[in-house]
Structures are given as structure tokens and as C-alpha cells.
Amino acid sequence: MIRLGAQLSQAPGYEYTVSEAGQAGLRALQWFSRNPVGGQSGVLPPPNALRQLLQQHHIDSVYIHAPYFVNPASVEEAKRERAMSVLSQEMRRARRLSGRYVVLHPGHWQHGASRAESLDALTATVQAMLAVPGHILLENTAGQGKELGDTFEELAAMFDAIGAPRRVGMMLDTAHAMARGYALASSRDVRALLKHIDGTVGLSCVKGIHLNDSAYPVGARRDRHTHLLAGQLTREALYAILSWANDADIPLILETPGRDVSQRLQDIAVVSGFQQLVKVDA
């Protein structure tokens, strides 16, 4: 089954957001638990009421995207302590929001530090987050600037160093993969990417897909998401990804431009087109 979801703003209120998603037939959601670029963290809704609301709307997978204003790979003591504190708090906030996973970008390689030192710092931050119950997904990045985690080899090394395979998995972002140089123009490309992921981090590590198109060309190392089929992704490749997600029962989260469901209707329609085909075949 395709379990499609979207990154949604909770600004209109959790009740409104969940019912809007449910009415559009979404089965998954992603939220920031707080303003991703900084500021005070807001008040969360009562956990039980939210859980019931999600159940009522058949939304079974909630992802909480970690904020961007801390660098989990910082080698500076004070900055890393701040990252550990904010991200550990995020693990607690995720539980209160029925979040199954906290999605984390692995951070930036810092000027003056070696890449290995930055990776060690990231390992320490993730291990500190794991002191709080819950699960973490590291996301593959576009490799823009000094972003870490842009290759699956590097992500595999991170997973090995962290050493908590039951609690740490991967979020596969299709736009970031393309921007980093993994083409997704044919079903053959998709098979090659999946084989590569299987040979590095292992496919069973993938617990969610950020289903986005890339506005910039393959290999540009520039991170800008666009609507499905409006960028580098072809319908053939998209259908191959959906077919895999369908078989492996992996939720898909749209992070295409927009903040609410109405701005993603064209993307939802593209995925529905695939679902119609699957139903005809069955």
C-alpha cells in the first residue's frame, strides 16, 4: 500500500492540519515541532488528544523534522552541547507529538576541523540523543556547501560509528540524491540506486522517503525542491520508486513547495495516478 504524507505547517492548529490531511487521504505526516530556524519552542497539544485525532483520520506515521539552527556535527564544545540539548529535547517533543521518528540532517563539516572530526562529533550528538527513548533517521543530503551525509558510503560509516541499528535508520530524500549526482531518469536508474543503497547502508535501513523533485540538475549539489515531475525526476523513475515503496510499505513524505495540503494537490494527483494503475493491474 502507498502511504503518502506531507510536511505540513501546524500554524493553523494541529486539529485543522490533521483533519485536512485525513480528508485528502494522506496516511503520514511530517512536522517541525518548533520553528526550524530558531526562537522559542511552542506549546504542544495534549498527547492523548492528538493520538486519538491521528487515529480517527487514519494517519499512522508521524515524522518530526529536527530544527536546522543547531549543527549536530559541530566540533566546538559549546555549540555541540547546545545541539545535544536542543536535539534531545526534540526527541521528547517527538514522543509528545506521536512522532515515530526524528529526522535529522547530519550537519556541516566545520571550517578548521577535519571531516573525520566532524563525523565523530555527529556520532557523539546522536548517541546523546539516544539517551532519550525513540528513533532517529539520518537524511541523505545534497552535498551543498559543507553538508555531511551526501553519499551512502558516508551514511553507512555514520551508522557503523553510532552502533544502534534498531534505533537509527535512514530517510531517503530523492531530490537530495539527484542533486548529489544519483540520476533518477529511468526505472533502471532507480534499480541502480536501490542496489547501491543496499550495498552501503542496507535497504532495510530506509524507514521513510522524502518524495521530492530537484529543481537543479543532477549533480549540481544545490538543494532546491520542486513539484513532482517539474524537475529532474521522470514519471518512469517516479513510478519505480512508488512501486518499491508500495512493496516495502515505506511511507512517503512530500516536501514539495507549499505549507499545506492545497499547495500539494498536483503532487498528490501524480501519486494517485500511480495508485490507479496498481489497482487496475491487481
Q: Which residues bind Zn ion (CB under 5 A)?
A: 173, 210, 255
Closer residue to Zn ion, CB minimum distance, 71 or 141: 141
Count H helices and E strands in the chain, helices first: 9, 10
Nearer to Zn ion, 53 or 270 (CB): 270
In the complex with Zn ion, the residue whose CB is nearer, 80 or 106, is 106
The three-state secondary structure class of 263 is helix
Q: Which is nearer to Zn ion, 17 or 174 (CB)?
A: 174
Shortest distance (Å) from residue 182 CB to Zn ion: 14
Least distance to Zn ion, CB of residue 114, Å: 27
> Using N-to-C axis directions, what is the helix angle for 187-200 and 152-162, rounded to 10°?
30
Q: Taking CA 127 as the corner, what is the angle to CA 126 and CA 129, rounded to the nearest 5 degrees?
A: 65
Residue 211 beta carbon to Zn ion: minimum distance, rounded to whole angstroms: 9
Least gap, CB of 176 to Zn ion (angstroms):
6
- Please answer whether residues 156 and 205 qualify as being in contact, where contact means their C-beta atoms are separated by less than 8 angstroms: no
71 or 212, CB closer to Zn ion? 212
Handedness of CA 14, 15, 17, 21 (dihedral sign): positive
Using Cβ positions, the residue closest to Zn ion within the complex turns out to be 210
Cell 505549507, residue located: 259
In the complex, minimum distance from the CB of residue 224 to Zn ion, in angstroms, rounded to a whole number: 12
Other Cβ atoms within 10 Å of 100 Cβ, number: 18
